[in-house]
Each structure stands twice: as C-alpha cells, then as structure tokens.
Amino acid sequence: MENINVAVATDANYCQHAAVTLASLLHNNRRLSFRVFIAVTEPLGAAGALISATVSQFGNATVEFVDFSQDLLPNLHLSHHISLASYVRLWLTTRLPADVGRLLYLDSDVVVCSDISSLWGVDLEGNYLAAVPDLPYSHENIGFANDDRYFNAGILIIDVQKWVRENLAQQLVNYALSKGSQLTYWDQDVLNACCKNRVLFLDLKWNFQAMMAERPGCFALNPSEFKNPPCESRYHTL
C-alpha cells in the first residue's frame, strides 16, 4: 500500500500537541503506512526529538522535518494564539518533495480516533482541497454572503500538484498580506477566500468539533452523530 502523506505545522510551543495528534493517527491506523512531514518555523531541539521518538515507536511511519524559518513573512496578521506556524500551511506545498501528489494536513489540536483510509481516498473531483464545513459565523470580511459555504482548515486533503501547477501558494500569500488585520480567522480566511468554489465539502465526522455538540441545530445534527467520530478538533476528532 502507498504511503499516506501527512503534514503538521508547529513551533516549539505546540510540539507536545503535535506529538499527541500523530500518536493518535498512527495508533488508530496501524495497518497503514505514513510519510510524516513536520513543518517547523524555528529550531525545536529536544521537542523535535520528542516528535521523532513518538512517531518511531509505532513502526508505521517515517518523519521528515521541513524548515520554513527562511520563508516567514513578518507582516502577517497574528494574535495571542495564532503564530506564524499557522500560516505555514499556505505555502506548505512549495517545500514538499516532487513525488508528493496528495497531502493530509492536520492541525496540532486534532485527535484521530479511527481508520482514515476512506478520507485519504476521497475523490477531490478537480478541487484544490477537501474539508469540513465550519460553524456558521459571518464572513463578510472576505466577501462571503450568508449562504456561501465556509470550511474549517484544521483537517484538509490537499491536491499538492494542482496547488503547484496553479501557483496557489503565491496567491494565498498575496491575499494574506493584502487583507492584513481584516482577516478575522487568519489563514483560514485566506484559504476560504482563495479556494472558493474549488472545495469538496466532507461529512462533519471528518472534523468534529466540540462546539458542534453544543450547537446541533446549526448543523441539523442528531445526537447519535456525536458518538465515535473518526476525527475531533480542539481537540478536533477524526
């Protein structure tokens, strides 16, 4: 079976969280093989060694650290909990090996609870990415109407080759710099604006957020759907 390409982005503050995300993925998918890319924005030292040790103990993945410290842009809109590491997903595809055609991106607050092979195999139908709808907030700041669909960027299936061919990374960075502090949800707003109408929307189970259980009416959810999602975030679950 082919390797599943997985990426997480982290700085020194989130290494422990990233290790938990990867441990949950590898533990619950022991029959699958993974090629893990850790996108870093600074030297990780012992924290990076912790991630490597966590991955190696499962025996079904390799790990590669990809240094983005020279690519960071100081003018991006940040906050107390959104660092430059969060924006790395915008140009992640520019530093991956040429043989990577598809990528599963996971935020470092995701917990994977079951097999993800059907998620990995989803037909993107020519879209840039696949993602789960986000909670229904207003996104007028990026020109979205109330009925425009907006996704959560914590778990993505990315068509790497399409991003590269169409130079999407540069479009994303340009948009981020042009909007600045108008970005309410930072890099997630950027991805939604630039990928509008080029997104395959997935079932909510592939990125189940705790807030969904608190606001089931927003998603027409049945309480039974809260049980055993394959992925959860913040911590998200898969």
Q: What is the pLDDT of residue 96?
A: 96
Q: Give the tokens for residue 185.
A: 């949800």
Low-confidence ranges of the chain (pLDDT < 70): 1, 71-74, 77-78, 80-82, 211-238
Domain annotation for the chain: domains and CATH numbers: 4-237 (3.90.550.10)
Which residue, among 70, 62, 2, has the nearest Cα to 36 in the 3D structure? 62
Helices (H), the chain: 15-27, 46-56, 84-87, 117-120, 160-165, 168-179, 186-194, 210-214
Tell me: the pLDDT tens digits for 67-82? 988 766 667 766 766 6
Q: Is the pTM of this model over 0.85?
A: yes
d(CA 34, CA 166): 26
